[in-house]
Each structure stands twice: as C-alpha cells, then as structure tokens.
Chains A and B, each alone.
Chain A
Amino acid sequence: MRKSDEDRFREFARGQAAVMRRSAFLLCGDWHLAEDLTQMTLVKMYRAWPKVSRTDRPINYARRTLVNCWFDEWRRGWRRAELSMVEVPDQGDEQADPVHRQLNDELREQLFDALFAVPPRQRAVLVLRYYEAFSVAETAETLGCSEGTVKSQAARGLATMKTALGDATAVSLLTGVEEEHR
C-alpha cells in the first residue's frame, strides 16, 4: 500500500473506530465483542483499502463489512453463549441526579432488552436505519437485499420491540417510526 493510501486509512481508522464500535455494540450487545468486530472490520478494510478508498463512501463499505463480520460471528454459535452474560453496567455516578440516573438506567435496560429481542438481521436493519440514519436504499445496499425487504424487516423488528417494551413505553418510543413502514 502506498504511503498516501496508508495515511488516509490511518485517518479513517482514527475517526471511525469508536463510531463503528458503537454500531457493533448495538448489533451484538457486548462491548468486548463489539471491539473485536471493529478490529476485524478494520483489518479487512486495510486489505481492500486501495480499492475502497476510491469509492464515494468508504463508510458504507465499513458498515457492510462490520455487519458481515457480526453475522459470521453469530453463525459460529459459541458467541451466543456470551450474550447471556451481558449486563447493563450499573456503577453509580456521583455527579448524576440519583433519581434521573435510576430512570435512565431503567429506560436503557428496557430498550436494551427490547433491541435484543429482535432477531439479528432485523436488528441490523434497525441499527442501520435508525442509529446510523442510513436511507432505505443505503440499508438495502449495505445488507445486500431489496428495499422492500428492508422495509418489511424494519416493520417486523419494530413490532418485536413494541411487544418487548409493553404498550406504554412503546407508544412514546415508536410513535412516528412505524408510520413510514405502513
């Protein structure tokens, strides 16, 4: 790889490593696995970088690689055992209002549980569409499926989340989001 290409990749890795790890965490629910997935993605991207850097959006390629790495890990099965150990950290924050903190923790836990009640592929659609703010077309391209599939998978994923959250929370969480899939 040329020095100039490597410098560009280094810049990309510095800027995207933490961002990719957040997406990975929303996919897998484990910060350690998320970090592994991020590094796997960067390794694959480094090898393909001379080609990837010439595309309009290396970030889209990165997300596609990240999602595929996660699917690969998921299919291996043994990683699933680790997911059962996932717990939302509950260390105290002396700076935070304890009441607000408790409400926030509860909300986070509810959302975490609801998100991980969604099957992996649907979850990938939700993460790309609503966390990464990808368009339907970009999500379809990233996942290698049709736009119709993205819409149906998103609708099913949201329905699963709604069931997991219970009616009261789901109304505040999903109002408006579901409309676009009807």
Chain B
Amino acid sequence: MDLNERFRTVLEDEPPLGFDPDQLVDGLRRDVRRRRVVLAAGLLSAVAVVAVSAGVLRNNDAEEGPADRPAPPTTPSESFSFTSTVLDSRVGGEQEVTADPAVFELFGQGSPVLSGDAEHVVESFVVDSYPGDRGKLQIRRGDEVLFEVELGNHDGYAMDFKFTEPWIFPPDQPPLVALSCQQSGRPDHGCEAGVTFEGSAITR
C-alpha cells in the first residue's frame, strides 16, 4: 500500500457534500448582479446630488432671488429602465428597395413610463438588433447625434455600454433612437432594433 492509498484510507469516512455546487454558482451570480445594482444606485445618487448641487451653485452665481430659482426636485432620483424599439420598414419585402441612408426613422419622443417634465440621467444602455439587419442606429439628443453604430457590427448580439459620465437629457429633449435600414435580415420585414436605457429621472 503506497502513501496515496494511505491517504485515501484517511478519507474513507467522507460524509456527503453539504452544499450544492449549482446553488453556490446561482448565489454567486445573484451576488454579482446585486453588487452591480447597488453600485449603479450609488453612482446614480451621486450623479443626482452633483446635478442638484451644480444647479444650486449656478443659481447662486447668477445672484438670483429666491423667487426666481427653480423649484427643488420633488423626486430627487427615480430609477428607470425603458426600451425604445424602432422599426424602419422602408427596406424588405419581395421588391428590392433601396433607402436613402441619410434618412432615419425616429422613436423616443417620449417614454410611456416617464413623465414629460423629467430630466433623464442615462448611465447605461444596451443596443439589440435582429441578425442580418444592416444599417445605422443613432441615439440623439435633439439634433445632436450622441452615438452611432453599424448594425452589422454586432449582428444580432446585444451590446452593453456603461458610462463614467452620464448622458443628461433635459425634459424637452428625451432620448431619441433613430434607424436607417439598408438591408433586412428577414423577408417581408424591415430592420428592427431596440435600445434599453437605464438611469435615473429627476423631476423638478
């Protein structure tokens, strides 16, 4: 009997494993998600505090009287997550159709889950599109293009973007998603893409 076998003798009365590896992994995954949510909430709170403080400082610099100052936020920070889905159906179907790449279909003039007087502080977004779709997707603030991506770059996979500095959309300029379809991945269908925005809404 060699030493390895002797060691195995010591282990002969091994009790059954007291934990389930699958449950351990599930718990770890939940912990990671929870940590991200807490971190995001902390960042959002910090952003909200900075945004509010900056507004107060600007008002102080202008030496405006108390009556001229905007009302303090009634809801300092309310988390939101909403998806804007945009469909450009100019391309697709049985006929070969070409579309002007400079023309975009727009979505997102207002969000059904947010009040119109909220300032949107966007911390992250996820872009999702249909495999085979080709064209360009833009995220805009008014006429300003903040982000543009070619749909073929991720070809059906979701792309996740997180910011160190958030995008701030004033109440009259909520996030806009624009799409210019050049080739559809599905017959009888145009290009379809979704952008899920996450962040906080500050209502004054």
Contact = CB atoms under 8 A, between A and B. Distances in A.
Interface of A: 1, 6, 9-10, 13-14, 17-18, 21-22, 25-26, 31-32, 35, 39, 42-43, 46, 88-89, 104, 107-108, 111-112, 115, 126-127, 130-131, 133, 172-174, 176-177
A42 B88 CA distance: 47
B62 interface: no
Given A35-B18, A35-B19, A88-B13, A46 B7 contact: no
Contacts of A10: 21-22, 25
Interface in B1-23: 1-4, 6-15, 17-19, 21-22
Interface string B14-41: 1101110110110011001000000000
A136 to B, nearest CB: 15
B78 to A, nearest CB: 30
Most-contacted residue by chain A among B14, B15, B28 (CB, 10 A):
B28
B32 A1 contact: yes
A31 B19 CA distance: 12
Query: For the side of the interface on B, what is the size category?
Result: 20 to 34
Given A26-B11, A104-B12, A173 B17 contact: no
13 contacts: A6-B25, A6-B29, A9-B25, A13-B21, A17-B21, A18-B14, A25-B10, A25-B14, A26-B11, A31-B14, A42-B24, A111-B7, A111-B10
A22 B9 contact: no
A131 B22 CA distance: 26
Contact of A131 (B7, B14, B29): B7
A176 B10 CA distance: 20
A131 B10 CA distance: 11
Given A22-B14, A43-B28, A111 B9 contact: yes
Contacts of B7: 26, 111, 115, 127, 130-131
A108 B9 contact: yes
B9 A130 contact: no
Contacts of A39: 19, 24
A42 B21 contact: yes
Most-contacted residue by chain A among B3, B8, B14, B22 (CB, 10 A):
B3
A112 B6 CA distance: 10
